[in-house]
Chains A and B, each alone.
Chain A
Amino acid sequence: MDSPLLIALSLFIVYVGGLGLLPLLLLPGLKQSLSEGKKRPQQLIALVLGYGIALDYAVVLLFPSLSFALYAGIVLSLAGFAAAFFILRMHFVQLFKARWFVWAGVLYLALLFSGAILYEPLAGWDARSIWFFHGRLIYFNQGFHLSLPGGWNNPALLFSHVEYPKLIPVLAAQSAQIAGFWNEYVPKVSLMLLLLPTLFAATSFFERIRLSSLFLILSFYFSLGGMLWNGYADGFFALFAVFACMYAARWLKDEDSRDLLSASVFLSIAVSVKNEGSLFALLLIVGASAIVRFSKKTVKKTEGTPGDRWRYRLILFLPFLGFFIWTFLKKAWGLQNDLELGAETLSRIAQRVEKGQISLILKSLLIDAQVMRAAILLAGTFIAAKIMRARPPVPLLLPLSICLFYFSGMFVIYAGTPKDLEWHLGTSAGRTMLPVLLCLFASIFFLIQGIENHGSLEPDRQKKAVEKAASKVKNKRKKPASS
């Protein structure tokens, strides 16, 4: 089928794949972990695609022209593939040796979403007026420097929240550039590209098909309604933010450096998709640091030489380059947020408390945005797990505390909004609560996994038990030889 959308998507996947490989090849111990056939190769694929997307954003922001950035990116991407074949050689194949259900699941879900994402034109208000309008501006101006008088500060553009992060617009503009034209379908290739790493990430949280995996897929991908295909950024922001949180939670338990890196890459995409990403990132970093500090946990140092450790740190922070460049450009161009956060926010909050509008905010966020329903489901699952004395494989402290503080943060933002409160809540509460909903779903998922594992040994305990049994057998064999 001669679909320019599918051609653009295929080329884009290969392009970001090469880009993502380049920094990851510097990762200490990558070849060794591939040769050992370390579990969850799908996590590496998610990492490669995610890293590629984050780097591509930085490359476009660094270069004045979209074409020049794409050519530079293609050179880097080819270098990534060449280096991967040269350094990893046959181990490269290990990347694709995920279990059958991972490939089947990812392909099926990608195919399922592709119909609605690629073959429905952009129609939603925010999709047209914000995200894909910015993409259109970048595409037709071949970069970030607009030909309009005043650039991004042109009064005619102010309705469009020009200070919003530009990852989705950049990917949309590049999709059109690869396809060779702009229409109301081509820029949505960017959404398919963002969907793929999250699908691989989702499958990296289960080892086989169980009810918990079904719950994860249903709650993360189907409960968001049209948010993953109508061109709004909220669904993708929630997915990337919550996967970052899940990886960070798993890292706190297992201290696998790959989890920390995955958390970093997914978080870097979340902060580059929506402004709320900064709040989420702040909570995640503070939350994880606090857990490490107060649990008196000693974080295992990365193995290898001091050079390896510096390399690891660099790879950990590099995905945030695009976010920092955009933050700098925003300041330099004087692009301002319309929420008017500052001292006046406090007086607006006080006024709303006096007017008794707090209950309206709580009702919108808890009831209308369905947070209460998820909380009830969590409570029920928690009781069932408690009765069985089942423990979740990952401590729930991080996702639950982030959920609570993020909810509180959004509550304060609504309480201090300069806009008409009812209008602001009515048009956005359902979307802004998605990260809270997904954090609650993630906690329920971990609890279900705990219930499923109840009675059977957890993977790490299972490994220890097997090792113990093996050493016993070894000792028994040695004894007759010595006697």
Chain B
Amino acid sequence: MKLFKSFSLIAVVAAALFLFPAITDSAGYLHQKLFFFLSDPPENSKLAFDLKESRRSGGGEYVLPRHVQMIIGLLRKYQASSFRISPEVQKDAETTQRLIEGGYPIVSSQDAHFLVHLDKETVSRDCKPISSMNGFALAYCP
């Protein structure tokens, strides 16, 4: 019975590891993160970069899409307090949400002078183009 007891205990834990591969995957990933100094340069330098980024205000924004980073950067440069998103851009949920949450405290408002639109979209003649990237553009519409 004692043998059966030991066998069944080990079998349950082994079965858990087999049925839920996330257990070993997560354990491996977390240990790799913890002992980053043992890993090869790409992973090693990525963590060193994140460590550096974590110490500054606004750090880590590299996770946002490139065009969103560009637009938010320009809005900050021009000290905008608000911006509006064109109906065509609003169809792209990722760009819209990343602009709204990533750009805050610059708020999304229908009365704003800064307009985020698609390159191919026709905008009012009064609008002055500021910059564009990956098919997205920023304009100032007084």
- Assess whether A405 is interfacial by the CB under 8 Å rule: no
Contact across chains for A4 and B55 when beta carbons are under 8 A apart: yes
Task: Pick the residue among B11, B27, B58 that contacts A222 (CB under 8 A).
Answer: B27
Q: How far in angstroms is the closest Cβ of chain B from A145?
A: 14
Contact across chains for B20 and A219 when beta carbons are under 8 A apart: yes
Contact across chains for B4 and A218 when beta carbons are under 8 A apart: no
Task: Pick the residue among B1, B15, B17, B54 that contacts A5 (CB under 8 A).
Answer: B54
A184 to B101, CA, bound (A): 12
A133 to B108, CA, bound (A): 14
Q: How far in angstroms is the closest Cβ of chain B from A96?
A: 25
Task: Pick the residue among B5, B20, B60 that contacts A122 (CB under 8 A).
Answer: B60
Q: How far in angstroms is the closest Cβ of chain A from B14?
A: 10
Contact across chains for B105 and A222 when beta carbons are under 8 A apart: no
A181 to B53, CA, bound (A): 12
- Assess whether A413 is interfacial by the CB under 8 Å rule: no
Q: Which residues of A contact B50 (CB under 8 A)?
A: 119-121, 185
A367 to B52, CA, bound (A): 42
Q: A111-B34, A121-B62, A388-B1 are in contact. Are A222 and B26 (CB under 8 A)?
A: yes
- Assess whether A159 is interfacial by the CB under 8 Å rule: yes
Task: Pick the residue among B27, B30, B60 that contacts A121 (CB under 8 A).
Answer: B60
Residue of A nearest to B102 (CB): A128
Contact across chains for B107 and A156 when beta carbons are under 8 A apart: yes
Q: How far in angstroms is the closest Cβ of chain B from A263?
A: 25
**Cβ < 8 Å to A, chain B residues 97-123:** 97-98, 100-102, 104-105, 107-109
Contact across chains for B23 and A222 when beta carbons are under 8 A apart: yes
Contact across chains for B23 and A184 when beta carbons are under 8 A apart: no
Task: Pick the residue among B4, B11, B54, B56 that contacts A388 (CB under 8 A).
Answer: B4
A181 to B102, CA, bound (A): 15
A455 to B33, CA, bound (A): 42
- Assess whether B36 is interfacial by the CB under 8 Å rule: yes
**Cβ < 8 Å to A, chain B residues 11-36:** 11-13, 15-17, 19-20, 22-27, 29-31, 33-34, 36
Contact across chains for B60 and A185 when beta carbons are under 8 A apart: yes
Interface residues on B, range: 35 or more
Q: How far in angstroms is the closest Cβ of chain A from B89?
A: 13
Contact across chains for A452 and B60 when beta carbons are under 8 A apart: no
Q: How far in angstroms is the closest Cβ of chain B from A204?
A: 21
Q: A137-B104, A160-B101, A184-B61 are in contact. Are A224 and B4 (CB under 8 A)?
A: no
Interface size on A, residues (CB 8 A): 63
Most buried by A among B31, B47, B56, B57: B57
Contact across chains for B20 and A133 when beta carbons are under 8 A apart: no
Contact across chains for A112 and B34 when beta carbons are under 8 A apart: yes
**Cβ < 8 Å to B, chain A residues 124-167:** 125, 128-129, 132-133, 136-137, 140, 148-149, 156-157, 159-160
Contact across chains for B23 and A223 when beta carbons are under 8 A apart: yes
Task: Pick the residue among B12, B61, B100, B109 that contacts A448 (CB under 8 A).
Answer: B12
Contact across chains for B12 and A381 when beta carbons are under 8 A apart: yes
Q: Which residues of B contact A225 (CB under 8 A)?
A: 22, 25-26
- Assess whether B141 is interfacial by the CB under 8 Å rule: no
- Assess whether B133 is interfacial by the CB under 8 Å rule: no
Q: Which residues of A contact B13 (CB under 8 A)?
A: 211, 214-215, 218
- Assess whether A348 is interfacial by the CB under 8 Å rule: no
Q: How far in angstroms is the closest Cβ of chain A from B97?
A: 5
**Cβ < 8 Å to B, chain A residues 1-15:** 2-5
Q: Which residues of A contact B58 (CB under 8 A)?
A: 181-183
Contact across chains for A133 and B26 when beta carbons are under 8 A apart: no
- Assess whether A377 is interfacial by the CB under 8 Å rule: yes
Q: A118-B54, A185-B53, A222-B27 are in contact. Are A159 and B93 (CB under 8 A)?
A: yes
Q: Which residues of A contact B74 (CB under 8 A)?
A: none
Q: How far in angstroms is the closest Cβ of chain B from A206?
A: 14
Q: Which residues of A contact B105 (CB under 8 A)?
A: 140
A122 to B60, CA, bound (A): 8
Contact across chains for B23 and A219 when beta carbons are under 8 A apart: yes
Q: Which residues of A contact B108 (CB under 8 A)?
A: 156
Contact across chains for A451 and B10 when beta carbons are under 8 A apart: no
**Cβ < 8 Å to B, chain A residues 177-234:** 181-186, 211-212, 214-215, 218-219, 221-226
Q: A140-B105, A186-B54, A387-B4 are in contact. Are A224 and B22 (CB under 8 A)?
A: yes
Q: Which residues of A contact B2 (CB under 8 A)?
A: 455
Q: A129-B97, A129-B101, A185-B54 are in contact. Are A219 and B60 (CB under 8 A)?
A: no
- Assess whether B51 is interfacial by the CB under 8 Å rule: yes
A135 to B63, CA, bound (A): 18
Contact across chains for B57 and A451 when beta carbons are under 8 A apart: no
Where the two chains meet, the residues of A that have a C-beta atom closer than 8 Å to any C-beta of B are: 2-5, 111-113, 115-116, 118-123, 125, 128-129, 132-133, 136-137, 140, 148-149, 156-157, 159-160, 181-186, 211-212, 214-215, 218-219, 221-226, 370, 373-374, 376-377, 380-381, 384, 387-388, 444, 448, 451-452, 454-455
Sampled A-B contacts (9; CB under 8 Å): A5-B54, A115-B30, A115-B47, A185-B54, A215-B16, A222-B24, A223-B26, A370-B20, A448-B12
10 other A-B residue contacts (CB within 8 Å) besides A222-B27, A373-B20? A3-B54, A156-B100, A181-B56, A182-B57, A184-B59, A185-B60, A211-B12, A223-B16, A381-B8, A455-B5
Interface pairs A-B: 4 shortest CB-CB: A184-B60, A121-B60, A115-B33, A181-B57
